[in-house]
Amino acid sequence: MSTIDAPERATPSIPGPPPRILLIQAPYYEAVVSGMRQGAERVLAGVGATLEVVDVAGAFELPAALRMALKAAPGEGGGGWDGFLLHGCVVKGETDHYQFICEAVCQGVMDISGETGVPLGFGLLTVENLPQAVARSSNDRHNKGAEAAHALLAQIGLARKWGVK
Protein backbone atom coordinates (compact mmCIF):
# COMPACT_ATOMS: atom_id res chain seq x y z
CA MET A 1 0.00 0.00 0.00
CA SER A 2 1.26 3.47 -0.72
CA THR A 3 2.05 5.98 1.98
CA ILE A 4 -0.72 8.26 0.74
CA ASP A 5 -3.85 7.68 2.75
CA ALA A 6 -7.30 7.84 1.18
CA PRO A 7 -9.51 10.63 2.57
CA GLU A 8 -12.32 10.01 5.01
CA ARG A 9 -15.57 10.61 3.19
CA ALA A 10 -18.84 11.58 4.76
CA THR A 11 -21.94 10.10 3.18
CA PRO A 12 -23.44 12.89 1.09
CA SER A 13 -26.91 14.14 1.83
CA ILE A 14 -29.16 13.84 -1.20
CA PRO A 15 -32.59 15.38 -1.62
CA GLY A 16 -35.70 13.30 -2.15
CA PRO A 17 -36.53 9.70 -1.41
CA PRO A 18 -33.90 7.04 -0.79
CA PRO A 19 -32.36 6.10 -4.15
CA ARG A 20 -32.82 2.83 -5.99
CA ILE A 21 -29.44 1.56 -7.16
CA LEU A 22 -28.53 -1.23 -9.56
CA LEU A 23 -25.13 -2.81 -8.99
CA ILE A 24 -23.83 -4.66 -12.03
CA GLN A 25 -20.91 -6.77 -10.93
CA ALA A 26 -18.45 -9.10 -12.60
CA PRO A 27 -17.54 -11.51 -9.78
CA TYR A 28 -14.72 -13.35 -11.56
CA TYR A 29 -12.56 -12.52 -8.52
CA GLU A 30 -15.41 -13.17 -6.12
CA ALA A 31 -13.69 -12.25 -2.84
CA VAL A 32 -12.48 -8.95 -4.29
CA VAL A 33 -15.80 -7.95 -5.83
CA SER A 34 -17.66 -9.07 -2.70
CA GLY A 35 -15.44 -6.78 -0.62
CA MET A 36 -16.18 -3.90 -2.97
CA ARG A 37 -19.91 -4.61 -2.77
CA GLN A 38 -19.75 -4.63 1.04
CA GLY A 39 -17.99 -1.27 0.98
CA ALA A 40 -20.68 0.14 -1.30
CA GLU A 41 -23.45 -1.32 0.86
CA ARG A 42 -22.08 0.46 3.94
CA VAL A 43 -22.14 3.80 2.11
CA LEU A 44 -25.56 3.28 0.56
CA ALA A 45 -27.07 2.24 3.90
CA GLY A 46 -26.25 5.75 5.11
CA VAL A 47 -28.91 7.18 2.79
CA GLY A 48 -31.36 4.27 3.03
CA ALA A 49 -30.74 3.25 -0.59
CA THR A 50 -32.22 0.10 -2.07
CA LEU A 51 -29.63 -2.03 -3.83
CA GLU A 52 -30.37 -4.58 -6.52
CA VAL A 53 -27.43 -6.73 -7.65
CA VAL A 54 -26.93 -8.55 -10.95
CA ASP A 55 -23.92 -10.55 -12.08
CA VAL A 56 -22.29 -10.63 -15.49
CA ALA A 57 -19.66 -13.07 -16.72
CA GLY A 58 -16.73 -10.67 -16.69
CA ALA A 59 -15.60 -7.07 -16.87
CA PHE A 60 -16.01 -6.99 -20.65
CA GLU A 61 -19.78 -7.45 -20.22
CA LEU A 62 -20.24 -4.46 -17.89
CA PRO A 63 -20.95 -1.79 -20.55
CA ALA A 64 -23.47 -3.95 -22.43
CA ALA A 65 -25.28 -4.85 -19.21
CA LEU A 66 -25.44 -1.16 -18.29
CA ARG A 67 -26.97 -0.39 -21.70
CA MET A 68 -29.55 -3.15 -21.24
CA ALA A 69 -30.42 -1.82 -17.78
CA LEU A 70 -30.93 1.66 -19.20
CA LYS A 71 -33.39 0.20 -21.71
CA ALA A 72 -35.32 -1.77 -19.07
CA ALA A 73 -38.84 -0.42 -18.69
CA PRO A 74 -39.87 0.55 -15.15
CA GLY A 75 -42.20 -1.99 -13.62
CA GLU A 76 -41.28 -4.73 -16.09
CA GLY A 77 -38.62 -6.54 -14.11
CA GLY A 78 -36.36 -3.53 -13.86
CA GLY A 79 -35.83 0.07 -14.70
CA GLY A 80 -36.60 3.03 -12.56
CA TRP A 81 -33.17 3.04 -10.93
CA ASP A 82 -31.75 6.35 -9.77
CA GLY A 83 -28.20 5.29 -10.52
CA PHE A 84 -25.83 2.48 -11.32
CA LEU A 85 -22.73 0.97 -9.78
CA LEU A 86 -20.33 -1.13 -11.82
CA HIS A 87 -17.86 -3.40 -10.02
CA GLY A 88 -15.23 -5.71 -11.40
CA CYS A 89 -11.56 -6.54 -11.34
CA VAL A 90 -9.02 -7.21 -14.07
CA VAL A 91 -5.61 -8.56 -13.02
CA LYS A 92 -2.70 -8.16 -15.41
CA GLY A 93 -1.45 -11.40 -16.89
CA GLU A 94 1.28 -12.35 -19.30
CA THR A 95 -0.51 -11.27 -22.48
CA ASP A 96 -1.98 -8.09 -23.96
CA HIS A 97 -5.50 -9.26 -23.06
CA TYR A 98 -5.43 -7.11 -19.90
CA GLN A 99 -4.78 -3.92 -21.85
CA PHE A 100 -7.52 -4.60 -24.40
CA ILE A 101 -10.15 -5.48 -21.79
CA CYS A 102 -9.36 -2.51 -19.55
CA GLU A 103 -9.43 -0.02 -22.40
CA ALA A 104 -12.60 -1.46 -23.94
CA VAL A 105 -14.52 -1.50 -20.67
CA CYS A 106 -13.44 1.99 -19.62
CA GLN A 107 -14.22 3.45 -23.04
CA GLY A 108 -17.57 1.65 -23.22
CA VAL A 109 -18.64 2.94 -19.82
CA MET A 110 -17.38 6.45 -20.57
CA ASP A 111 -19.29 6.50 -23.85
CA ILE A 112 -22.53 5.54 -22.10
CA SER A 113 -21.92 8.03 -19.31
CA GLY A 114 -21.26 10.86 -21.74
CA GLU A 115 -24.22 9.99 -23.97
CA THR A 116 -26.78 9.58 -21.20
CA GLY A 117 -25.54 11.55 -18.20
CA VAL A 118 -26.81 8.72 -16.02
CA PRO A 119 -25.58 8.81 -12.40
CA LEU A 120 -22.82 6.23 -12.31
CA GLY A 121 -20.26 4.89 -9.86
CA PHE A 122 -17.44 3.09 -11.66
CA GLY A 123 -15.54 0.54 -9.60
CA LEU A 124 -13.35 -1.43 -11.98
CA LEU A 125 -10.06 -2.43 -10.40
CA THR A 126 -7.25 -2.68 -12.94
CA VAL A 127 -4.31 -4.09 -11.01
CA GLU A 128 -0.93 -5.72 -11.52
CA ASN A 129 -1.62 -8.54 -9.04
CA LEU A 130 -4.24 -9.98 -6.72
CA PRO A 131 -2.78 -8.50 -3.49
CA GLN A 132 -3.33 -5.02 -4.98
CA ALA A 133 -6.97 -5.92 -5.64
CA VAL A 134 -7.43 -7.28 -2.12
CA ALA A 135 -5.98 -4.06 -0.67
CA ARG A 136 -8.53 -2.03 -2.66
CA SER A 137 -11.48 -4.16 -1.57
CA SER A 138 -10.75 -4.42 2.14
CA ASN A 139 -12.95 -3.06 4.89
CA ASP A 140 -11.15 0.29 5.21
CA ARG A 141 -11.01 3.72 3.62
CA HIS A 142 -9.19 2.32 0.57
CA ASN A 143 -12.25 0.32 -0.53
CA LYS A 144 -12.94 1.26 -4.14
CA GLY A 145 -16.52 -0.02 -3.98
CA ALA A 146 -17.22 2.51 -1.23
CA GLU A 147 -15.50 5.23 -3.28
CA ALA A 148 -17.66 4.38 -6.30
CA ALA A 149 -20.78 4.54 -4.11
CA HIS A 150 -19.78 7.98 -2.81
CA ALA A 151 -19.28 9.18 -6.39
CA LEU A 152 -22.64 7.74 -7.41
CA LEU A 153 -24.50 9.42 -4.56
CA ALA A 154 -22.91 12.75 -5.43
CA GLN A 155 -24.07 12.34 -9.04
CA ILE A 156 -27.60 11.41 -7.93
CA GLY A 157 -27.66 14.49 -5.70
CA LEU A 158 -26.56 16.66 -8.61
CA ALA A 159 -29.15 15.14 -10.95
CA ARG A 160 -31.89 15.74 -8.40
CA LYS A 161 -30.71 19.29 -7.74
CA TRP A 162 -30.93 20.07 -11.46
CA GLY A 163 -34.16 18.12 -12.01
CA VAL A 164 -32.54 15.66 -14.43
CA LYS A 165 -34.23 12.29 -14.94
20-37 in b/e form (b: 16+ CB < 10 A) is bbbbbbbbbbeebbebbb
28 is in an annotated binding site: yes
115 is in an annotated binding site: no
> What's the CA gap between 54 and 150, in Å, rounded?
20
Catalytic residue among 87, 97, 142, 150: 97
Asked if 27 and 123 touch (Cβ cutoff 8 Å), the reply is no
50 is in an annotated binding site: no
- Residue 34: closest CA among 87, 86, 83: 87
59 is in an annotated binding site: yes
94 is in an annotated binding site: yes
106 is in an annotated binding site: no
Beta-bridge partners for 152: none
20 is in an annotated binding site: no
Work out the number of other CB atoms within 10 angstroms of the CB of residue 157.
Answer: 18
**Is 97 in the active site?**
yes
Catalytic residue list: 97
Residues annotated within the binding site are 28, 59-61, 89-91, 94-95, 122, 136
Residues annotated within the binding site for (2S)-2-hydroxy-3-oxobutyl phosphate are 94-95, 136
Residues annotated within the binding site for 5-amino-6-(D-ribitylamino)uracil are 28, 59-61, 89-91, 122
